[in-house]
Structure 1
Amino acid sequence: MTPTSIRPLWKPDHRFLEQSLMKQYMDWLFVKKGLYIRNYNDLWEWSVTDLEDFWESIWQFFDIQSHTLYRQVIIKPDRGMIGTQWFDGARLNYAEHIFRHKTAQRPAILFQSERQTTTRQLSWAELERQVSAVAAFLRQNGIGPGDRVASVLPNIPEAVIAFLATNAVGAVWSSCSPDFGTASIVDRFQQIEPKLLFAVDGYTYNGKPIDKTDAFRELRLALPTLKKVVWFPYLDPESRLERSTLWEDVLWTSANGLEFEPVPFDHPIWVLYSSGTTGKPKAITHSVGGCLLEHLKALALHQDVRPGDRYFWYSTTGWMMWNYSVASLLAGATLVLYDGSAGYPGLDVLWSLAERTQINHFGGGAAYYLSCLKAGIEPAKTHKLTALRTIGSTGSPLPPEGYRWIYESVKKDVWLISLSGGTDVCSGFVGGCPVLPVYEGEIQARLLGCKVEAFNEEGRPVRDQLGEMVILEPMPSMPIYFWNDPGNKRYFSSYFEQYPGVWRHGDFIRITERNGVIIYGRSDATLNRDGVRIGTAEVYSAVETIPEIADSLIIGIEKPGGAYLMPLFVVLREGQTLSGELVTRIKQTLRLQCSPRHVPDAVYAIPEVPYTISGKKVEAPIKKILSGVDPAAAASKDTLRNPSALDFFVNMNLESLGQSV
């Protein structure tokens, strides 16, 4: 079990604490509601016990603008969580709340890319003008409430503009990143039958232009419901797609100001997709009102994002963190966008962006920070990061050495926010809290309104023990449904099959004595040696401290006759070989840092670890392949960032599994 430190790496000083929006909210509860709350734990307990009063207080604290009054805060179904209704009767608009913050005092968006190294600014006035024009174009082409608008655009301002316009007219947004394969895009968009598509001629990654024109010709044929394609020539200003409308022509559409279509609270805002590595992607549909409340709560209270801040999270338009970062506009922040590789021309490109644009809130995947650590990057010595107030991490568990690197090599007084949630709620379940300290390797808190517990194998909540992460009460940003899922069958099987009426999220966690949270990896990839469950993140944290190891993957496989095999696969740094001495050192490290049960049965050198497009190690599909499942059924290559990484496992001699150096 991973130990956590006794002394915090960071804690809020008196001024930081008193000025935080979380403290202001607690004071507001005392003044407006007569609630005396001593500390965050008391606040959390109230938020998950009295759901109606808590979520109504979020509505009131953030002054939600509704075009009609709500009749009831929450209406629960007879059983379970599916079908829970929130703020029945309210009609509102997400984009309308974003434009409450328009001002001439600061830009709305800052943008930089591999291709455009100078920073482009988009004012609120220009943002409003362009969103107005695109919204008018959508209306002229028959796009209205409930219609689906699909997008395959890079992480550029035009993607934000297209989303805001879509939302303004009450339509439903759905986005894929242009680095997705055509088959993967078809698998997603065919489910929702979009009427209009925003498309791009290509994108740049690692300095290489990648043309997508032919791919969009294929995509249009595969989506017969499309009535219109809007073409954005990003790589080549002269590129054209037949029977499409140019983005620049759309911006000339006449508009009489920006009009917002009020929709019911539970009206769909967007359709996001599961990774699809092991089957058809689930079309996860969220509500306008649910995301509005959740994003204000998560960004303003739990990350202390406030008007005038500059907010950045490295993402693509195919990951829910893009939607989450756009939500920073709800809090009045300036959104900073970057399009391109985080490692080109070097791993310090994003730190240079942070310095140049004076980013206050910097976010990225845990894998990025660990890459910087292993490469010896020390931003504190090479960049002036005086504006930086928070660093966010998500995508996979950030191990203790990642925490140490941030405080030793980036900024010693920064507030590190490790966040974990998912596409399932387009937010976090556990994450930051500005009134609590940060301890090494430990997520600060369970978020307000998220009744997160760790269940043991008997389905009972436990403390300071490894357990299955569950959520016991509904949240407004839980899916309203999966698109095209009659009877909610896929929705139910995704979360509620194991524990009746309880959301099983699929993570393996420990809630510490401080009420912090440590995540040990996906529970479907959990190792089970001699009846003891082991989180894969524990193994990675130990193995990847060894200088010769660049990356690793561990799998547990049940063999006939009750045998259990646990092979470890390692990616070696350039010039290194998997010698007997190195294997011995790997095993000794795991035995000393973890336990004898963590020691693998065999160690193999591999060219690379397979990753999903959003940066998660592909564990469960590899387990299936090594258990003899047809590789085509076990994993979809189109959903992987590096599909060729599967080849090693597909070609592996299963009879020899367990025999290595």
Structure 2
Amino acid sequence: MSTANPLPLWQPDPQRIAQAQITKFQSWAAEHHGAPALGGYPALHRWSVDELEAFWKAVTQWFDVRFTSPYARVLGDRSMPGAEWFPGATLNYAEHALRAAATRADEPALLHVDETHEPRPVTWTELRRQVGSLAAELRALGVRPGDRVSGYLPNIPQAVVALLATAAVGAVWTSCAPDFGARSVLDRFQQVEPVVLFTVDGYRYGGKEHDRRDVVTELRRELPTLRAVVHIPLLGTEAPEGALEWSDLTSADVDPVFEPVPFDHPLWVLYSSGTTGLPKAIVQSQGGILVEHLKQLGLHCDLGPGDRFFWYTSTGWMMWNFLVSGLLTGTTVILYDGSPGYPDTGAQWRIAERTGATLFGTSAAYVMACRKAEVHPSRDFDLSTVRCVATTGSPLPPDGFRWLHDEVREDLWIASVSGGTDVCSCFAGAVPTLPVHIGELQAPCLGTDLQSWDPNGTPLVDEVGELVVTNPMPSMPIHFWNDPDGSRYHDSYFAMYPGVWRHGDWITLTSRGSVIIHGRSDSTLNRQGVRMGSADIYEAVERLPEIKESLVIGVEQPDGGYWMPLFVQLAPGAALDDALLDRIKRTIREQLSPRHVPDEVIEVPGIPHTLTGKRIEVPVKRLLQGTPLDKAVNPGSVDDLELLRFYEELARKRA
């Protein structure tokens, strides 16, 4: 057997292929839109990128997208950035998310699970009623289309209701998880100036209660644009003075009124950290997200009304927004609010059993933690409903594929997927009709012309290159907040290859059409799928008087692990003792997030810089991954080459 064509780990049987939505879509699109009837997924994908307008028109018809006013054409302008989708059309995302209420009134739209692991249903009728009530109250508070509404909330049904009510009135949703400290939240929300804040008094995690009332007080003080604060008493406390009670706003029995908004009207703001300055406030559109998520969830994830969709996430990660969009396909969405490993590492499998999950989504890090802890999912839990285990946040290592195959089920569709907050979707990943190969994503997604390029823009096959997308996707940002001339947006994705989206990942496209992701090609820190710029950490750590300067690096390891050391140059007379170590870790935990506490704090003689004074992050990362010094950095661009020898030596010792 040649290595170019190894045996797949899994193949869908003919019945599964025939029943997949994507198979039915292809036959229908062949009949109505000129798609190829033969040639399976590769032919369909080729058509979807070659005939972009025909493909997206077909998606809107297949999923019966309801345009309140019709579109003039599918793509008014295809240049990137700035592509113009479905000009003239108006619609509403929330209307589509609640459509199943008409046919599945008393079935669960949401299953809410906390650390007791007891699922509590919210029916489609009840979800629709609460959204109707809250949307009316938001309008009464003066919330208008385009206003921003923010949530400092865990993954609970109230967060879904608040998002959908916000979208129903045409306002713009944005959320952070309550494990974020005040500074992290303000760095995000202050940029977008919300008029309403939904907040909890605290949350439960790992068997403990975490009171967040002090943080809420600080948020109220530091967000002068707020006209209303809505209190959700998760821990049972009284509403603070001047706050409204959640129950009062969601008790009326009224039908939701859906504001028809232009296709490119903003739906929500997500945040991704650059390496300098504030997190990027990424704005995506109602229509763009609607059609992209229908395609992704309905065709790639093969979800429909009989399914139950679980993904372990928090409201601070794009996967939460993606999870909520499961409602678009009539799927029951499972919301888990709690620690991924409480009371034991097998917690997420127990939730899958208790809820009857059909698509089980988690992080690659969780799969590897289960393997390490010798969890045996199929022995200890009934996972007979689970058809697909999907992973994201970082590439799933080969051992993770083998472990899922051996420990969950041999006939298991394993979907390692990769995308980004930037598009709130996947570039590559799940295809229900294709085989799964160990360590590989099945294929690029429909409508996404994914390529691997060398520095000169030459496409590569079976070689590592930059992940690029050469055609527009509807869910690409319409703009960044507070970026009036679009320069920050342009510099984030389009500076390297004009007119082509460069994502910042290293990938290989194999000659059989699968995709391998090798981690970031830049210095963004990616911890369990939560991305943070190094600048956030420098700002916090360097406030400590003992720290002169610091350098933080996230290194993807060959075994699928992720090593994040923090290098510190100390001020004269300071010592890196236990007390200082504790303060460094506490500072990061409290001011930024517990996920970004470094694995090690290492004292260094100095931090290397470019000649223009920028810290050298990517070359140090490459040194730590074993790249020789002369290949990792251009020596003429460094202020002190000797300093880099320290990191080279450290990499040698670790290896």
- Tell me the TM-score normalized by structure 1: 0.81
Match of 2:619 in 1: none
Distance 2:605 2:239 in 1: 42
Match of 1:67 in 2: 68
Distance 1:625 1:494 in 2: 32
Distance 2:487 2:91 in 1: 29
Match of 1:383 in 2: 381
SS in 1 for 2:186: helix
Distance 1:25 1:284 in 2: 31
Once the two structures are superposed, residues 262-316 of structure 1 have per-residue CA deviations (whole angstroms, 9 ceiling, x without a partner) of: 1000000000000356431000000000000000000110010111200000000
Q: CA deviation at 1:181?
A: 1.0
CA contact (8 A) 2:195 2:228 kept: yes
Match of 1:365 among 363, 366, 372: 363
Q: Residues 360-439 of structure 1 correspond to what in structure 2 (within 5 A)?
A: 360-439=358-437
CA contact (8 A) 1:365 1:615 kept: no
Match of 1:306 in 2: 304
Distance 2:487 2:177 in 1: 28
Q: CA deviation at 1:146?
A: 0.6
User: Structure 1's 28 and 538: CA in aligned 2 closer, same or farther, altered over 3 A?
Assistant: farther
Match of 2:121 in 1: 121
Distance 2:181 2:330 in 1: 35
Q: Residues 41-80 of structure 1 correspond to what in structure 2 (within 5 A)?
A: 41-76=42-77, 80=79
Tell me, which stretches of 5 or more residues in structure 1 are unaligned?
527-535, 545-550, 557-605, 636-652
User: Structure 1's 542 and 159: CA in aligned 2 closer, same or farther, altered over 3 A?
Assistant: closer
Q: Does 1:204 align with 2:204?
A: yes
Q: CA deviation at 1:627?
A: 3.6
Q: CA deviation at 1:31?
A: 2.0
Match of 2:88 in 1: 89
User: Structure 1's 146 and 525: CA in aligned 2 closer, same or farther, altered over 3 A?
Assistant: closer
Opposite residue 233 of structure 1, the aligned amino acid is P
Match of 2:493 among 495, 499, 522: 495
CA contact (8 A) 1:396 1:616 kept: no
CA contact (8 A) 2:554 2:565 kept: no
Q: CA deviation at 1:542?
A: 3.8
User: Structure 1's 397 and 153: CA in aligned 2 closer, same or farther, altered over 3 A?
Assistant: same
Q: CA deviation at 1:403?
A: 0.4
Distance 1:60 1:622 in 2: 57
Q: CA deviation at 1:117?
A: 3.4
Distance 1:208 1:19 in 2: 45
User: Structure 1's 487 and 68: CA in aligned 2 closer, same or farther, altered over 3 A?
Assistant: same
Matched residues, percent identical? 48
Distance 1:434 1:110 in 2: 25
Match of 1:444 in 2: 442
Of 254-263 and 356-365, more deviation after overlay is shown by 254-263
Q: Residues 103-502 of structure 1 correspond to what in structure 2 (within 5 A)?
A: 103-104=104-105, 106-114=107-115, 116-235=116-235, 237-252=236-251, 254=252, 256-275=254-273, 278-502=276-500
Distance 2:140 2:97 in 1: 24
Distance 1:452 1:331 in 2: 25
Distance 2:467 2:293 in 1: 22
Match of 1:39 in 2: 40
Match of 1:523 in 2: 521
SS in 2 for 1:110: strand
Once the two structures are superposed, residues 608-653 of structure 1 have per-residue CA deviations (whole angstroms, 9 ceiling, x without a partner) of: 9x9996979989x9999974469xx979xxxxxxxxxxxxxxxxx9
Distance 1:153 1:18 in 2: 41
SS in 2 for 1:65: coil
Once the two structures are superposed, residues 419-454 of structure 1 have per-residue CA deviations (whole angstroms, 9 ceiling, x without a partner) of: 100110000000111111000000000000111100
Opposite residue 392 of structure 1, the aligned amino acid is A
Once the two structures are superposed, residues 504-559 of structure 1 have per-residue CA deviations (whole angstroms, 9 ceiling, x without a partner) of: 10000000111100000101159xxxxxxxxx999623486xxxxxx645899xxx
Opposite residue 467 of structure 1, the aligned amino acid is G
Q: CA deviation at 1:52?
A: 0.9
CA contact (8 A) 2:397 2:560 kept: no
User: Structure 1's 259 and 347: CA in aligned 2 closer, same or farther, altered over 3 A?
Assistant: same
Q: CA deviation at 1:225?
A: 0.4
SS in 1 for 2:360: strand
Opposite residue 28 of structure 1, the aligned amino acid is W
Match of 1:509 among 507, 510, 517: 507
Distance 2:243 2:171 in 1: 20
Once the two structures are superposed, residues 587-617 of structure 1 have per-residue CA deviations (whole angstroms, 9 ceiling, x without a partner) of: xxxxxxxxxxxxxxxxxxx999x99969799
CA contact (8 A) 1:75 1:84 kept: yes
Distance 1:264 1:119 in 2: 37
Q: CA deviation at 1:334?
A: 0.3
Once the two structures are superposed, residues 460-499 of structure 1 have per-residue CA deviations (whole angstroms, 9 ceiling, x without a partner) of: 1010000011110111100000011011011001001111
CA contact (8 A) 1:625 1:634 kept: no
Distance 2:560 2:133 in 1: 54
Q: CA deviation at 1:239?
A: 2.9
CA root-mean-square deviation: 2.9
Opposite residue 492 of structure 2, the aligned amino acid is S
SS in 1 for 2:69: coil
Once the two structures are superposed, residues 150-189 of structure 1 have per-residue CA deviations (whole angstroms, 9 ceiling, x without a partner) of: 0011000110011111111111000011111101111111
CA contact (8 A) 2:565 2:598 kept: no
Distance 1:613 1:304 in 2: 34
Q: CA deviation at 1:372?
A: 0.5
Distance 2:352 2:53 in 1: 40
Q: CA deviation at 1:106?
A: 2.0
CA contact (8 A) 1:395 1:614 kept: no
SS in 2 for 1:22: helix
Distance 2:27 2:555 in 1: 40
Q: CA deviation at 1:36?
A: 2.9
User: Structure 1's 187 and 625: CA in aligned 2 closer, same or farther, altered over 3 A?
Assistant: farther
Match of 1:11 in 2: 11
Of 201-210 and 309-318, more deviation after overlay is shown by 201-210
Opposite residue 144 of structure 1, the aligned amino acid is R
Of 128-137 and 171-180, more deviation after overlay is shown by 128-137
Distance 2:445 2:123 in 1: 33
Opposite residue 160 of structure 1, the aligned amino acid is V
Once the two structures are superposed, residues 567-602 of structure 1 have per-residue CA deviations (whole angstroms, 9 ceiling, x without a partner) of: xxxxxxxxxxxxxxxxxxxxxxxxxxxxxxxxxxxx
Match of 1:25 in 2: 25
CA contact (8 A) 1:278 1:634 kept: no
User: Structure 1's 4 and 425: CA in aligned 2 closer, same or farther, altered over 3 A?
Assistant: farther
Distance 1:190 1:538 in 2: 31
CA contact (8 A) 2:145 2:171 kept: yes
Distance 1:53 1:615 in 2: 43
User: Structure 1's 344 and 49: CA in aligned 2 closer, same or farther, altered over 3 A?
Assistant: same
Distance 1:300 1:168 in 2: 22
Distance 2:414 2:123 in 1: 30
Distance 1:221 1:634 in 2: 35
Match of 2:542 in 1: none
Distance 1:553 1:221 in 2: 34
Once the two structures are superposed, residues 199-231 of structure 1 have per-residue CA deviations (whole angstroms, 9 ceiling, x without a partner) of: 110111211211110111111111100000001
CA contact (8 A) 1:540 1:553 kept: no
Match of 1:541 in 2: 558
Q: Residues 572-651 of structure 1 correspond to what in structure 2 (within 5 A)?
A: 627-628=607-608
Opposite residue 110 of structure 2, the aligned amino acid is I
Distance 1:614 1:133 in 2: 36
Once the two structures are superposed, residues 290-349 of structure 1 have per-residue CA deviations (whole angstroms, 9 ceiling, x without a partner) of: 000000000110010111200000000000000000011101100111101111110111
Opposite residue 24 of structure 2, the aligned amino acid is Q
Once the two structures are superposed, residues 107-164 of structure 1 have per-residue CA deviations (whole angstroms, 9 ceiling, x without a partner) of: 11111112x4322111111111111111111011001211100001100011001111
Of 37-46 and 377-386, more deviation after overlay is shown by 37-46
CA contact (8 A) 1:75 1:85 kept: yes
Distance 2:603 2:325 in 1: 36
